Amino acid sequence: MRLSRLLLMFCAAFGLASPVLADDGYDLWLRYRPLSGTALAQAEAHASAVVTGEQPSATLAAAVGELRRGLGGLLGHPIGSNEANGAILIGTPRSLPTLAQLRLPLGNLGSEGYLIRSVTLAGRPVTVIAANDDRGLLYGSFALLRLFQTGASLDRLDIVSAPKLMLRVLDHWDNLDGHIERGYAGNSLWDWWKLPNYKDPRYTDYARANASIGINGAVLNNVNAVAASLTPDYIAKTKALADVFRPWGIKVYLSARFTAPMEIGGLKTADPLDPAVAAWWKAKADEIYSAIPDFGGFLVKANSEGQPGPQDYGRTHADGANVLADAVRPHGGIVMYRAFVYAAQDSHTVDRTKQAYESFKPLDGKFAQNVIVQVKNGPLDFQPREPVSPLIGAMPKTPLMLEVQITKEYLGQATHAAYLGPLFEEILRWDTFAKGRGTTVAKVLEGERISGIAGVANIGNDRDWSGSTFNQADWYAFGRLAWDPEASSQRIAEDWAAMTFTPDPAFVKPVVAMMMASREAAVNYMTPLGLTHIMATGHHYGPGPWVKDLARAEWNPVHYHQADAIGIGVDRTVSGTDAIHQYAPQIAKQLANPKTTPDNLILWFHHIPWDYRMKSGRTLWDELALHYQAGVDQVVAMQRQWQALKPFVDQERYEKTEAFLAIQLHEAEWWRDACLAYFQTFAKRPLPAGVPAPAHPLSYYEALQYPYAPGH
Ligand code: GCW
């Protein structure tokens, strides 16, 4: 006890990471633990010093500080600052005149791209990080650190990289009282109550982590917004956060409540075409920008799930977006206007998945220049698997921004290992055919005038930020894919695993294999073959396919699987809701026929008889049951894989993951048993060999209640 106390004091005095707290996950992928062996020798030869120009900006100082911190940790000693063999030179051609003589090709790098190159300067081998702007240097520093951390070769470096998307944003669904909607990692990081006077040092670590993966924006408050966020008190709090984040290249944004002009402005209406309303928003924007000159702009959820919006005044979403856009435009701000709309009342269409397209496509070309329409990846709602939203690629005159969910509302929340990289990659590589074959979602996004991607954050004030070690990988993968939407989620997982644990290939290879299969495992034990939205009501924790008594059809899981004596699935072809014709003709044609529809989406698009012969030759019923079983088997396999990795992992993170995998297995079995017990009441067929009978009768599963599940 005394000894560990002494050790802690020693560490604190010398600025070292405490060994006691060292492996609680706080350091994310920025652990910078000492290298050894050849990796250390190589690093020593390439990091003798960090050299930069005089009077660096706050951003360059942050970059240099991170290099010193990272290399100091990896090498186990402080880093010098004089030019020497093996030094790292970092600057723009203006801030570091020695770089000007190298005539580096910075032309295509924009303000955020960077170049890393091994060169000889005055006879000395050095590594150069160069960019047009200090933000590029920041990203270049993290990229170089990544090479050190992952044990990559540091010789003959010649890397150029620039982000393919402009807006790489985290959406925090954080409420002002600290609760996070769909948050599974504790409460909000933002201590609104103590802001602006107390700035938790953790805000800086949050910004560092984001900068390390290229995230350059954060929407601080829930899209289910309250007007209070726009009052002077809260603007001052937001300013305090903006000041912390600015050196790290991160702009802040706020979700705007549409009726704020009434609620805090005393107006009688929030009609976007009312001149007093427009003037109110303009004055509000001026007020915000005088506190935060680089404020990013507003995010808006309007006329969806009970939120107010322009339709309350007989106006369109374009009218609603434009009044806000006009207010921020003089300051260079933007409006991210969400297309996740579904009417507060039962709509004219029976298929909720058609509503975003129906509401927004006719408005193409009607939005102000600084509006970007933010579209969820799927037409429904962040399900374990959905087809891509047909809106993506369908509005050629309007910039579209993709929204994905990093927090795992529908994918096992805090405890299930389900690496989202492959999900994001599947979306980004989906071919929309918008401009002919090969117009992937990534290409659509990259081609926009204002381009961007938003991820609903999975970050809270849990010590490990994301609720589990493996959930950290989802934050990481989001950032890396935002930078390069065409990157490989497997390569990203390799970097993450090497940095988060150890670069030893004997660890990285198997852990990445485990991660890469994990999302499909979750799909299998929750919603295989294109099933969706069969989670329990409200909190979405666990299965609830039987729910059928909620006020509106589109809230009920039975509406989404439509199981009956004949079969299961939703007919979205011409004989059903005809949602398929919201897609490009090439896709619609493929989806019109179950034979040409991919198995993994078949029940999304078709109502299929229980005895239908699947591509495997098995009946649909057998296939469904075997998928549920496969999901369970995959979790058992993950447990075994994790056990084999024990020698590589510290005790704290090992045991937490081990315990979580046990929870995941238990819940995978619950999903399988509950869903099969229920669907069997329609299919009336025996379970195929290899699938055990459910542990309990259906009534047992139907009776389970979880009123206090988190995140709701
Ligand atoms: O998926 C639903 C969530 C809501 C969320 C909404 C949205 C912020 O269950 O919690 O509200 O989507 O994206 O607006």
pLDDT digits 0-9 by tens, 199-211: 999 999 999 999 9
pLDDT at residue 600, as a whole number: 98
When pLDDT is averaged across residues 31-42 and rounded to a whole number, the result is: 94
Q: Does ligand 1 come within 6 angstroms of the Cβ of 223?
A: yes
Q: Does ligand 1 come within 6 angstroms of the Cβ of 702?
A: no
**Is the model's pLDDT at 5 over the cut of 50?**
no
Q: Does ligand 1 come within 6 angstroms of the Cβ of 352?
A: no
Ligand 1 atom with least separation from CA of 540 = 9
Tokens found for residue 311:
């339709």
Percent of the chain whose predicted confidence (pLDDT) is above 70 = 96
- The alpha carbon of 217 and the centre of ligand 1 are apart by a number of angstroms equal to 20
Closest to 584 (Cα-Cα) out of 367, 396, 360, 350: 396
Q: Does ligand 1 come within 6 angstroms of the Cβ of 173?
A: yes
Q: Does ligand 1 come within 6 angstroms of the Cβ of 340?
A: yes
**Is the model's pLDDT at 473 over the cut of 90?**
yes
pLDDT confidence of 15, banded at 50, 70, 90? very low
502 — alpha (psi -120 to 50), left (phi > 0) or beta?
A: beta
Query: What is the gyration radius of the CA atoms in the chain, in angstroms?
Result: 26
Tell which one of 181, 352, 383 to mutate to probe ligand 1, the residue whose CB is within 8 A of the most ligand atoms. Answer: 181
Q: Does ligand 1 come within 6 angstroms of the Cβ of 179?
A: no
When pLDDT is averaged across residues 477-497 and rounded to a whole number, the result is: 98
pLDDT at residue 381, as a whole number: 96
**Is the model's pLDDT at 2 over the cut of 50?**
no
From-to residues of CATH 3.20.20.80 in the chain: 167-278+287-302+325-342+359-500
From-to residues of CATH 3.30.379.10 in the chain: 25-161
- The alpha carbon of 380 and the centre of ligand 1 are apart by a number of angstroms equal to 11
**436 φ, ψ (degrees, to nearest 5):** 85, 175
pLDDT confidence of 22, banded at 50, 70, 90? low
The residue whose C-alpha atom lies closest to atom 1 belonging to ligand 1 is 381
Q: Does ligand 1 come within 6 angstroms of the Cβ of 182?
A: yes
Tell which one of 172, 173, 352, 533 to mutate to probe ligand 1, the residue whose CB is within 8 A of the most ligand atoms. Answer: 173
**Is the model's pLDDT at 4 over the cut of 90?**
no
Ligand 1 atom with least separation from CA of 381 = 1
CATH number of 25-161: 3.30.379.10
When pLDDT is averaged across residues 329-354 and rounded to a whole number, the result is: 84
Q: Which residue has the tokens 């993170």?
A: 653
**Is the model's pLDDT at 350 over the cut of 80?**
no
Question: What's the topology of domain 525-570+607-703?
Answer: Alpha-d-glucuronidase, C-terminal Domain (3.90.1330)
- The alpha carbon of 579 and the centre of ligand 1 are apart by a number of angstroms equal to 22
**Is the model's pLDDT at 103 over the cut of 80?**
yes
Positive or negative, the CA dihedral 511, 512, 514, 515 is positive
- The alpha carbon of 299 and the centre of ligand 1 are apart by a number of angstroms equal to 14
Q: State the burial class of residue 693 (Cβ atoms within 10 Å of its Cβ: 0-12, 13-18, 19+).
A: exposed
pLDDT at residue 552, as a whole number: 86
Q: Does ligand 1 come within 6 angstroms of the Cβ of 381?
A: yes
Q: Does ligand 1 come within 6 angstroms of the Cβ of 174?
A: no
CB atoms < 10 A from the CB of 317, how many?
A: 27
* Cis-peptide, bond into residue 232, ω within 30° of zero: no
pLDDT at residue 346, as a whole number: 57
Task: Return the active site residues.
Answer: 305, 381, 409
More confident call, 292 vs 122: 292
pLDDT tens for each residue of 540-564? 999 999 999 998 888 899 999 999 9
**Is the model's pLDDT at 594 over the cut of 70?**
yes
**Is the model's pLDDT at 122 over the cut of 80?**
yes
- The alpha carbon of 130 and the centre of ligand 1 are apart by a number of angstroms equal to 41
DSSP per residue over 534-570, as a string? -BPTTT--SB-TT---SSSGGG-HHHHH---SSEES-
Closest to 470 (Cα-Cα) out of 523, 505, 542, 420: 420
The residue whose C-alpha atom lies closest to atom 11 belonging to ligand 1 is 224
pLDDT tens for each residue of 268-318? 999 999 999 999 999 999 999 999 999 999 999 999 999 999 999 999 999
pLDDT tens for each residue of 569-591? 999 999 999 999 999 999 999 99
Q: What is the 3-state secondary structure (H, E, C) of 249-281?
A: CCEEEEECCCCHHHHCCCCCCCCCCCHHHHHHH
Least confident of 22-26, 167-171, 695-699: 22-26
The residue whose C-alpha atom lies closest to atom 13 belonging to ligand 1 is 340
Tokens found for residue 114:
């960077």
Q: Does ligand 1 come within 6 angstroms of the Cβ of 224?
A: yes
- The alpha carbon of 63 and the centre of ligand 1 are apart by a number of angstroms equal to 36
**Is the model's pLDDT at 567 over the cut of 80?**
yes
Query: What is the rounded average pLDDT for all residues in the chain?
Result: 95
Percent of the chain whose predicted confidence (pLDDT) is above 90 = 93
Ligand 1 atom with least separation from CA of 222 = 8
**Is the model's pLDDT at 1 over the cut of 50?**
no
pLDDT confidence of 516, banded at 50, 70, 90? very high
Q: Does ligand 1 come within 6 angstroms of the Cβ of 349?
A: no
Tell which one of 305, 380, 456 to mutate to probe ligand 1, the residue whose CB is within 8 A of the most ligand atoms. Answer: 305
Tell which one of 172, 219, 224 to mutate to probe ligand 1, the residue whose CB is within 8 A of the most ligand atoms. Answer: 224
pLDDT confidence of 419, banded at 50, 70, 90? very high
- The alpha carbon of 13 and the centre of ligand 1 are apart by a number of angstroms equal to 45
**Is the model's pLDDT at 3 over the cut of 90?**
no
- The alpha carbon of 405 and the centre of ligand 1 are apart by a number of angstroms equal to 10
Ligand 1 atom with least separation from CA of 173 = 8
Task: Please say whether the structural domain 167-278+287-302+325-342+359-500 has been given the CATH code 3.20.20.80.
Answer: yes
- The alpha carbon of 301 and the centre of ligand 1 are apart by a number of angstroms equal to 10
